[in-house]
Structure formats: C-alpha cells, structure tokens
Structure 1
Amino acid sequence: MAFNISKNDGKLRKARNIAGITMGNAIEFYDFAIYGTYAVLLGQLFFPGTSDFEKLMLSFATLGVGFITRPLGAILIGLYADKFGRRPALLFTLWLMSIGTLLFVVTPTYQQIGIWATVIIMLARLMQGFALGGEFGASTTMLMEYADNSNRGFYSSWQLFGQGLNTLLASLVGISIGFWLKDDIASLHSWGWRLAFAIGLLIVPMALYIRKTLPETKHKKTDESTGTLLKLVFKKYPKQLITGILLTLGSTVPVYITLFYLANFAISELQFEMRSSIVASCIAASVQIVLVPFIGMLSDKVGRKPLILWSRILTILAIYPVFMLLTSYPSLITLYSCVFVLAILIAVNSVPSLIVCAEIFPSKIRATGLSVVYSLSVAIFGGFAQMIVTGLIHWMHDLKAPAYYVIATMAISIIGVFMFKETAGKELE
C-alpha cells in the first residue's frame, strides 16, 4: 500500500512539474499571440503611414522585430540554462516578458507622442523576443529531461500544448473584448486592447511561484565556460544545427500562417469582422490542444520520421486549395473548415519536429542547441512570414500568394527529414 501511495505521489509530482512549465510557457507566449490578434489595430495606433497597407506592413514588421533578438536570447539564456540549471533560466525569461508586456499596456499612441510610441513598442517586442528565445529551449529541455526513453515524445508535446493554450486564451480574450465593446469602437481603440495585454500580467505572480518550486532535472551542470559550450555547439554539431533549422522551418511557417495570419488575412483582405475571424485562431488552437499529447505518444510508438515526412507532404498538397477556396468562396464556413484541416496537419508535423530538434543534441548543450536552431529558423522564416505574405499579395496582386511561400519553405524543409536517424525509444547522448 505504501508503495502504491509513493508511486502515485511520484506521478502527481511529475504532473505538477509538467503543469508548472506549461503554464509559465503559455503565459509568455500569450503576450506574443495577443499582439498577433490585434496586429491590424496596433498598426493604426502606433505606426506612421499614408495608407492602411503601410501601417499594416509596419505592424507586421514590428511583430517580426521581436524575432531578431530571439537568437541572442537563445544563445545567452540557453548557455545559462545549460551551465546553471533550467529553473533559474525560466524565472528570468518570465520576468523579461512581463516587463515587455507592461510597456504595451502603458505606452501612449503615435497620435499622442509621435515616433516615440513606435520606438517604445519596438523595444518591448525586442525584449519579448529575447525572453522567448531562451524560454523555448530551456522549457522544452526541462520537459524532456523529466521523461525516459519510452515517453519523451509525450512529455515534450506539452510544450506545444502550452503554445496552443496561449493562442486559445489570446483569441478568446480578443473575442470577448470585441463582443463587449462591439458598439463602442472608440473604447476598443483607446483602452480595450490594452486590457487584453494587462490580463496576461495578472497571472504572472502565480506563474513565478510555480516555477520557483520546480525541481531541477537530471541534467548535470558543467564546469566548462559558456564560451566553450557555445564553440562546442557550432564546431562539433554543425549537422545537427542544419537539421534542426530545416525541421523548425517546416513546422514554423505553417503555424504562423494558420494560427496567426489567417485571421488577419480574413480581416484585411476578405473584409471579415474581427471577432468572427478570430474564431479561426480559436479553432486552430483547440485542435492543437486536443491532439498534441496523443501525437507525442504516437511518435513514441511509430517514430518521429514518418509523422514529419507525410504531414509535410500533405500540407504542401493542401495549402494552395485552401487559399483558392478562401478567395473563391469567402465565408466563415470555408474559413473555419480550412483552418480545422490545416491545424490537424500542423499538429502532426510540429510535435515530432520539436522533439527531434531537442533529441539530436547532448544533454550538456541541449538547451543551447535547441534554442539556437529554433530561434534562427523562426527569426528568418517565421517571424516575418506575415509581413512577407502581405507584401507578396500586394506585389503579385494575387490573394493566393501566401500559399506559394508555404509550399516553397515546406519543400526545402523536407531535406532535414533525411538528415537524422530515428530517435524514438533510443538512448540519448
């Protein structure tokens, strides 16, 4: 009986640890997602320009600016996590994200203080990007190191559960505030959107408390300097870096186009109402939340490679028909159906891709290696995806142009699938 109690206590502790990491991760990514939700409105409030297109492009560019500092945050915070532990790194990233979010809540608009409003918002995004660059690698590595060879996929999948949860929360907050202020557009523009950012700050004290009580993982701290660890990543593991960047490329672009861009596409190009199109993001996030733990378990049983390869091939085949249907039959039913199908493919693709990117690096540089490949790929191909496809639409005069970007990046990313050996169930270095 005592043995069973002890065993159950162990399971409860593991569940609590997963919940603590996931909750903190969800809060940090919530702040990023809420910016995407209000990108069109923020473009009007904080950026100069003579047309709505110019303001929207500047807004998406600022969204992408946050990705510029991700590689720097990935390296510095990743090295800190590898040398001094995962938990202190996660506490630091949470504080940084909170400060960046606070700047969004209190900064006056462009009409009130001119170009300084644009500068402050960009600084806030740079700070958030730096924090997220280190957060991703440290939190994913911590989840993986709670697991064993038979369930690494399941444990690691909770990272993406947290991301899906944040997107759902951001979308629900956007819908709720939009419905509440549907007859008072002036209030939505003056303080309604600020309330959405402030909500993320309310949960920070609880997240800090949970993360402070997390136990460290079985990761062994090293006596090597951070400079030595960084050289080790780039000199000894270049193949792993390239593999990870290609795998992340193929999982990042469809996520940002489906979870974040399609709602803005429906608003700016198809003239849908904001609160109606945001439901599309809710659908995509809900699919991710439901599926990712099961896909993690499936990858432990059948392997990572087949799930990554076939989901990418199917995404390439599906993305052009999706935009063709949306532009030819622009209705909410079409939008929601397309998002639902793409979200399933994205979930099947993203979970094993994330797991492999962590598994291919040894423990002592895992947080750094994963953070670097994720942040570099996201910064180059994902962060500016919305700005790129918006520009493609304008320059090509073709509303289906986003599909071309997805097809090209996904096709290139398949190379990475053939650059690693199957890792499911194998002992890691």
Structure 2
Amino acid sequence: MNRTESIAVTSGVSPMTRAAAVLRVTSGNFIEQFDFFLFGFYATSISKIFFPTTSEFASLMLTFAVFGAGFLMRPLGAIFLGAYIDKVGRRTGLIVTLSIMASGTILIACVPGYATIGLFAPALVLLGRLLQGFSAGAELGGVSVYLAEMATPGNKGFYTSWQSASQQVAIVVAAAIGYGLNQWLSAQQIGAWGWRVPFFIGCAIVPFLFMLRRSLQETAAFEARRHHPQAREIFAMLLGNWRIVIGGMLLTAMTTTTFYLITVYTPTFGKSVLKLSTSDSLMVTLLVAASNFIWLPIGGTISDRIGRKPLLLAISVLAIFTAYPALFWLADAPSFARMLIVLLWFSFFFGMYNGAMVAALTEVMPVEVRVAGFSLAFSLATALFGGFTPAVSTYLIHVLHDKAAPGYWLSFAALCGLCATLGLYRRSAGSNASAASSA
C-alpha cells in the first residue's frame, strides 16, 4: 500500500460510516443499470415503437444496435469525464456523471414513437443512449476508485465488489417491476405504453439519488495528493500506459460479456429464442441478479485472501470450457429449470471473476490516472464486447442456426480474460523485480 492509500485508511471517510459511504457512492450505478436492463428487456416493444420495419429480425437488430451505440460513447466519457474526475475530485465528478445519465434516461422515457414524430423518434432515442453511454464511461470507474481508496487494509476486493453489487439491486427491482406489469397488463398494453412505466419510475427516483450523491465526502487519498494533473497531463499518461489500458480492456472483456448475457439479453433470449414465457424469463433474470449480488462480495473477499490472479485464471478456464456445452444443454430442451441452472452457473462465473477483477484493475492503473485509466479500459471492453453482446448473440444464432451460439462469444471473452491476466501479472512481476534491483 502506498503512502497516499495509507493516509486514506487512517483518516477514513469521517464523519460518515463506511457503509453509508458505500451506499452514497454506488447510488448512481442503480439508475445506470436500471435503465440499461429495461432497454434490453423491452427491446421487442421498443423495436416496434421506434424502429418499425417489415422484418422483426431487422427491427430487433436496429434496437440492439442503438443499445450498443451507447457503449461506443463510453471510451469518450472515460477519457474526458475520467480526466475531469482525476483533476477535480471523485465527489464533484460523480455528481456530473449522474446529471448526464439522468438526462439520457428522461429523454428515452418521454420520446414519442415513430408513428407520431417520424425519424425524430429513433434519433432522439439514439441521443438518449449516447448521453447515457458518455456518462457511464466514467461513472463506473469513478465509483470503483472511490471504493478502492476508502477500503480498509486487506479488504479492497470486498469494498470494490459493491460497485457491481449495487447494479444487481437495480436488476432485481427492474425485473420485479416488469414481472408485476406482466401480471397486471396485457401484452398489447405493455407494447403500446406499459413499457414506459418502469422508465418513468427510474426518472422519479433521480432526485433521491442526487441527494445521496451530494452528501458524499471527497476521499482522503485524493485530498492527500500534492499534485492534481491537468487534462493534458492525464491524456499523455494514458497514452504512455496504453499497454496497461489494453490489457485492462481484455481483462474486463470476460466480466462485461457475461454480465450483459445473463441480465440484459436473458429476457430476449428466453422469449424470442427459447420460446419460454415472459414471466419465466423475468423470474430467471431476477434470481440471477440476486445470485450475482451474493457471489460478488464473496469473489472480492476470496481474492483478498488468495490473490487476484489465481481466482481470475480459474474462472476464465472454467468459462472457456463450459460456456457452450451449458447453453447447448439448455437449447436442446428449453425449460425454466434448465435456463435457471445454466444462468446461475454463469452468475457464479460473473460474481467470482468480477469480485477480483475490479480490485485488480484499480491496482494496475497508475495512481495519477486511476479513474481515467480504469474507466477507459472498462469502457473499451464494454464497447467492443459487453455492450454488443445482445446484437452479437442475435446475429450468431441467426447465421449459425444454433441457439447455443452465444456460448462461442462468451468463451472467446473468457479467453481474452485469461490472456490478459497472464500478461498483466507477468508485467507487474517484472516491474516489481526491476524496482527491487534498482533499490
């Protein structure tokens, strides 16, 4: 632990308790994931309202392409907003990211359909997704670094795991609302206007999230730093550490792909591919999110005890060799029970891997560009892997005529994570050896 982090530990986050600080800093993650899940779950309805075509496949692909386009904005948000957070502080920066995220959410909730305003409808939905993506590019990194900087000695994995754990709460709430609407409204009502209800609920809780964020205190680690680099310095340092950023991106590929496969894509996969009921798909998603919430802090805690590298390698290998066989078994005889078993298995992958990965990524990034570097690596992974998982999965199933085809994509992402873990920790060992010999 370096001097700055030692100061953070001894000075704490007074006067708030650490539990309250975790709640306040992760609150913005709720609205981010709440809205992202809703967009994926109601993709079929959104495709008919905003992207009507003669082909259901084409409409769905356009919808998922717009969903994925938001992730292409994440690297830009990571660079510019991440640099801003590294310069002005975690608290102020996270309030800005929440403001931009809320703007995109409100826009998507309120845009009239294609039948009312024509091409302006899909254009405005796209704008809303781009705003969300730009904000999310730095939101996750800012939250993860805040948690890492306030963590007590030997518990960084446990603390940073709550970044993603907070997102699982959003999935549970969104899935529960969707399940309730499915019981109370007809399919026609949900397709016409009912899908907007959860989005409006998300808009209604935004003021409460702002209240929580505004009560945040700056981390002691940031305040103890003598030099806060300007944006130009941060960009130069990011460029100079491009190998670490690319390695971090590949390390994150596994977790982003798994997450969007088992949450955002699950309802569409269950309904459109496996032909299960909407209620079954929603219930599986809700239970998977609850499982994620349990495994994430367990994974973080185990990585604190045995190290990040062994856990990352073990889970990557398991995913490589079991992802496709598990989905093949599910597609061979689709049922609620089989879908639940397979996705709970993938949930185990996600929770254990991500619990170690977030802490690992904060540790390999240079402290001066910790938020920007973390955010850029994570955003690139989400843009190139996770965010397009629904579109890639839909395309692979269509082209290969194989309902288990998303397993190939997940195995590839796990292979990327395996190679990145070996590469980053070999580089880290080499850097430590060089430092020791110099001393």
Q: Deviations over 1:111-153 (max 9, x none)?
A: 2222211111111000000010010111111111101441111
1:297 deviation in Å? 1.4
Match of 1:190 in 2: 192
1:23 deviation in Å? 2.0
1:294 deviation in Å? 2.2
Question: 1:91–1:208: 8 Å Cα contact kept in structure 2?
Answer: yes
Residues 314/13 of structure 1: CA separation in 2 closer, same or farther (3 Å cut): same
Deviates more, 1:391-400 or 1:371-380: 391-400
What is the total number of aligned residue pairs between the two structures?
A: 417
Match of 1:147 in 2: 151
Q: How does 1:255-270 map to 2 (within 5 A)?
A: 255-270=259-274
Q: Deviations over 1:330-364 (max 9, x none)?
A: 11111111111110121111111121111111222
Question: 2:78–2:375: 8 Å Cα contact kept in structure 1?
Answer: yes
What amino acid maps onto 1:256 in structure 2? Answer: Y
Match of 2:100 in 1: 96
Match of 2:409 in 1: 405
Match of 1:222 in 2: 227
Residues 11/273 of structure 1: CA separation in 2 closer, same or farther (3 Å cut): farther
Residues 169/379 of structure 1: CA separation in 2 closer, same or farther (3 Å cut): same
Q: How does 1:244-255 map to 2 (within 5 A)?
A: 244-255=248-259
Match of 1:299 among 278, 303, 309: 303
Deviates more, 1:214-223 or 1:59-68: 214-223
Question: 2:53–2:59: 8 Å Cα contact kept in structure 1?
Answer: yes
Q: Does 1:417 align with 2:413?
A: no
3-state SS of paired residue (1:421): helix
Match of 2:8 in 1: none
Q: Distance in 1 between matches of 2:339 and 2:228?
A: 53
Question: 1:304–1:353: 8 Å Cα contact kept in structure 2?
Answer: yes
Q: Distance in 2 between matches of 1:241 and 1:399?
A: 34
Q: Does 1:338 align with 2:342?
A: yes
Q: Does 1:60 align with 2:64?
A: yes
Question: 2:324–2:404: 8 Å Cα contact kept in structure 1?
Answer: yes
Q: Does 1:40 align with 2:17?
A: no
Q: Does 1:120 align with 2:124?
A: yes
Q: How does 1:7-406 map to 2 (within 5 A)?
A: 13-181=17-185, 184-217=186-219, 218-219=221-222, 220=225, 222-235=227-240, 237-406=241-410
3-state SS of paired residue (1:272): coil
Match of 1:4 in 2: none
Q: Distance in 1 between matches of 2:315 and 2:230?
A: 40
Could you state the TM-score of these two structures normalised by the residue count of structure 1?
0.93
1:12 deviation in Å? 5.8
Residues 338/14 of structure 1: CA separation in 2 closer, same or farther (3 Å cut): same
1:57 deviation in Å? 0.6
What amino acid maps onto 1:83 in structure 2? Answer: K
What amino acid maps onto 1:267 in structure 2? Answer: K
Q: Distance in 2 between matches of 1:353 and 1:169?
A: 25
Q: Distance in 2 between matches of 1:160 and 1:325?
A: 29
Q: Deviations over 1:145-185 (max 9, x none)?
A: 1014411111111101112111112211111111111xx33
Could you state the TM-score of these two structures normalised by the residue count of structure 2?
0.91
Q: Deviations over 1:213-252 (max 9, x none)?
A: 11101213734320111111111x2231122011011221
Residues 157/223 of structure 1: CA separation in 2 closer, same or farther (3 Å cut): closer
Q: Distance in 2 between matches of 1:421 and 1:324?
A: 34
Match of 1:3 in 2: none
Question: 1:60–1:387: 8 Å Cα contact kept in structure 2?
Answer: yes
Q: Distance in 1 between matches of 2:253 and 2:152?
A: 27
Question: 2:12–2:150: 8 Å Cα contact kept in structure 1?
Answer: no
Q: Distance in 2 between matches of 1:291 and 1:310?
A: 15
* Percent identity of paired positions between Structure 1 and Structure 2: 33
Q: Distance in 1 between matches of 2:348 and 2:393?
A: 22
- Structure 2 gap segments, 5+ residues each: 1-10
1:8 deviation in Å? 12
Q: Distance in 1 between matches of 2:21 and 2:400?
A: 49
3-state SS of paired residue (1:271): coil
Provide the alpha-carbon RMSD of the alignment: 2.1
Q: Distance in 2 between matches of 1:89 and 1:96?
A: 11
Residues 278/396 of structure 1: CA separation in 2 closer, same or farther (3 Å cut): same
Deviates more, 1:219-228 or 1:118-127: 219-228
Q: Distance in 1 between matches of 2:404 and 2:294?
A: 29
Question: 2:13–2:21: 8 Å Cα contact kept in structure 1?
Answer: no
